[in-house]
Structure 1
Amino acid sequence: MSIILAAVPLLSTAAQGGSTREPCWRLAWEENFDCAQIDSTVWSKCTRGNPDWQNTQSSDPRLFEISDGTLKLRGIVNDDTTKDPAPYLTGGIWTKDKKSFNPGRFEIRARLHGAKGAWPAIWLLPFDHENNKWPMGGEIDIMERLNNNHGAYQTVHSHYTYDLGRTANPQSTGIYPINREEFNVYGVEIHPDKVVFFINGKPTLTYPKINDGADGQFPFYIPQYLLIDMQLGGQWVGEVDSKDLPVEMEIDWVRYYEPAQ
């Protein structure tokens, strides 16, 4: 895919509480899902694992479709538990071990179809995952939506928030309104001293670095890989209603910006 460069303004100074200078971002990479197949040089299908988000991930082709310029990731009832014991099957993609993103700005335009027990997510993990084990390397959740809620969660996780339980000062998570039936743009900016989330271009949560990142409070300023996945069920979202299935999330595009020189 060719690289398209463009300049876009940083979030407003008032939103960030910074100086009056407004630097720009440069569009360094984008994925528009305009080919018949997922670009295997960038993306892989998420593999099955033990965590709730991963315990129904599958490579079943019914879970993946590119059409009309969007990628559809689905959650379905498993119709053959003799081959796979999972009650449901879900699709996800990630750039793990393939494409690394330096700290910058990420935007993903997506539409989320609701169902009881649906848990779509867009998130970042350390590219060097072998030397940045969870939660020490941190996790940035650009978007998580439960069921058919009117809001999306945006969250950071780390040793500081998870192991030490320090989630309130500074605030590490929040739920923010979305246009439930429409496409929304979910975004995050990773700065040396803060992580700034936004939805549809409006700032939501800012998570600052404090005390020079002591106690593993701010591990986020490192290269990341991107995950986009549909999931069903789990301790957080609760039980699935199979009558609501299949369910899908649609991804229109992904854009990654780096600071303009």
Structure 2
Amino acid sequence: MYSVAPSHKVERERPKSTMLSAKGPLQKPWIQSRDPHSRVAYFLTYGVMLIGVGLGVLRCYLGWFDVPLLQGPMCLVMDENFDSEDGIFGENGKFLREVDMSGFGNGQFEMTTASKNNSFVKDGHLYLAPTLTSDNLGEAAIEDGFVYNITGCTFNITHGLSYTSSSHATNVSVIGSDQDFDLEGYTRACSAVSNATTGQIINPVQSARLSTRRSASIKYGRVEVRAKIPTGDWLWPAIWMLPVDNTYGPWPLSGEIDIMEARGNGPRYPKQGTNWVRGSLNWGPVTWLNAVAKTFGAWPLRRGGYDKDFHTYALEWDEKFMRIYVDTRLNHMLALNMDKSFWDRGDFPPVVQNGSQTVILNNPWVNGTKAAPFDQPFYLILDVAVGGTNGWFPDGGNKPWLDGSQNAMGEFWKRKDEWLPTWPQTVEERALVIDSVKMWQKC
């Protein structure tokens, strides 16, 4: 038999990490007592986070709670869905077709007519459509040797109430409502003469301007107009309001509320095209000083344009606030608190220069409320203007006329081959299309 030597277990030294020091005991922090400062830091971090969330929620709540809303009962003044043309136009209709060739104080190039070509109801919608005057008169008559008297001129209705022309500027802060008959103004509004020698032409575009001046007005309340704006270079659609009476004087002393203004130029137009709409207030202490720059705003569409679909343009207004928005209150173009008078808001100098004259400014709203001049009844206007020399279409950007030109309208017409192709052939795209109009008055 063979004997077997007993086995022996080989003991090997456990390898040590090179990260540990060869001297001294190994550190075992998990068995040590916690540093009290780390516990404080833990609770402090999450505590601050919770406080931040709480403050954010509180701010959202207070922001929602502080949004001014119309209080009290509202009485319906107008609710029109244009299911038919009955009761829309005519002597007792809801909308007056204002007929005028004067340019409405802005040097506009259109004449507004009572023609069914320019304003009509079809398939549940109201259309305000621009057309060429040459379709009726011919191009030769527009450019030379023709006297045109517009049919149904409404100068005698509109003049002396809320229609004014900025070409009749006055240095007086407030004028009386009674005025002598203005023969020059009547001639300018109701007729035109073409003369190739002077460059004077007949308004090359016919369009529409409709108002509720004889049927509906509100002092504080709500207006909603659901509409689709037109496409076409140099078209100027608008939904706006003027005072029933010039209580504080001629424009802009008695105010103007623009619920929506837009430009028919495409989205690439550098001065805000069909993908923008604007709301504003016009007001000032004299006829040639408008403080609109202090009270206006705009809202863009990130995709598409306002000419592609219907949108709701709204005004909310009382003695404490005014809000103008599109579709939702979150999309407000203008939100204004009436916490101070418009005289204080304007921060007007005591003395201004008007040409060579020095004019002392007086507060025309001294006898009104803080909301003055927007503390009086206003009526609604729907219109499609074309061009103009007031700066709504700034010079440049391939604009075919200059505002300072003596023959701006003629320059516009001469370059019709540039802008006319941008006007759609279909009236549905070329017109301002109104789906509904609603007006409420604070009871």
TM superposition score normalised by structure 1: 0.82
What is the SS of the residue equivalent to 1:60? coil
Shift of 1:199: 0.5
- Residue 32 (str. 1) matches residue 81 (str. 2): yes
Cα distance change on mapping 1:56 and 1:13 into 2, 3 Å = farther
Structure 1, unaligned stretches of length 5 or more? 1-11
Matches within 5 A, 1:6-45: 14=63, 17-18=66-67, 23=71, 26=74, 28=76, 29-37=78-86, 38-40=88-90, 41=92, 42-45=94-97
Cα distance change on mapping 1:58 and 1:100 into 2, 3 Å = same
Question: What one-letter code is carried by the residue in structure 2 that aligns with 1:78?
Answer: T
Cα distance change on mapping 1:166 and 1:100 into 2, 3 Å = closer
Partner of 2:388 in structure 1? 234
Q: Check the 8 A contact 1:47/1:57 in 2, yes or no.
A: yes
Shift of 1:177: 2.1
Shift of 1:57: 1.2
CA RMSD across the alignment: 2.9
CA distance in 2, matches of 1:160, 1:194: 21
Question: Which range is displaced more, 185-194 or 126-135?
Answer: 126-135
CA distance in 1, matches of 2:316, 2:62: 14
CA distance in 2, matches of 1:160, 1:151: 29
Structure 2, unaligned stretches of length 5 or more? 1-60, 151-201, 266-273, 344-362, 366-370, 394-398, 401-411, 413-418
CA distance in 2, matches of 1:144, 1:255: 18
CA distance in 1, matches of 2:313, 2:71: 21
Partner of 1:206 in structure 2? 335
Cα distance change on mapping 1:161 and 1:184 into 2, 3 Å = farther
Shift of 1:110: 0.2
Question: What one-letter code is carried by the residue in structure 1 that aligns with 2:323?
Answer: V
Report runs of 4+ in structure 1 exceeding 6 Å deviation.
none
CA distance in 2, matches of 1:111, 1:95: 20
Shift of 1:68: 1.1
Partner of 2:115 in structure 1? 60
CA distance in 2, matches of 1:143, 1:54: 20
Partner of 2:129 in structure 1? 74
Matches within 5 A, 1:97-108: 97-108=214-225
Question: What one-letter code is carried by the residue in structure 2 that aligns with 1:257?
Answer: W
Shift of 1:27: 5.5
Q: Check the 8 A contact 1:154/1:174 in 2, yes or no.
A: yes
Q: Check the 8 A contact 1:34/1:70 in 2, yes or no.
A: yes
Partner of 2:209 in structure 1? 92
Question: What one-letter code is carried by the residue in structure 1 that aligns with 2:422?
Answer: D
Of 374, 378, 395, 1:224 maps to: 378
Matches within 5 A, 1:82-231: 82=146, 83=148, 85-129=202-246, 132-148=249-265, 149-159=274-284, 164=289, 166-167=291-292, 171-178=294-301, 179-180=305-306, 181-203=308-330, 204=332, 205-214=334-343, 215=363, 216=365, 218-231=372-385
CA distance in 2, matches of 1:73, 1:143: 15
CA distance in 2, matches of 1:69, 1:157: 33
Q: Check the 8 A contact 2:281/2:292 in 1, yes or no.
A: no
Higher helix share: 2
Q: Which has the larger radius of gyration?
A: 2
Shift of 1:34: 1.6
Q: Check the 8 A contact 2:248/2:373 in 1, yes or no.
A: no
Partner of 2:422 in structure 1? 244
Shift of 1:209: 2.5
Q: Check the 8 A contact 1:102/1:224 in 2, yes or no.
A: yes
Q: Check the 8 A contact 1:107/1:256 in 2, yes or no.
A: yes
Higher strand share: 1
What is the SS of the residue equivalent to 2:117? helix
Partner of 1:255 in structure 2? 438
What is the SS of the residue equivalent to 2:387? coil
Shift of 1:165: 5.3
Cα distance change on mapping 1:54 and 1:230 into 2, 3 Å = same
Cα distance change on mapping 1:254 and 1:165 into 2, 3 Å = closer
TM superposition score normalised by structure 2: 0.50
- Residue 46 (str. 1) matches residue 98 (str. 2): yes
What is the SS of the residue equivalent to 1:56? strand
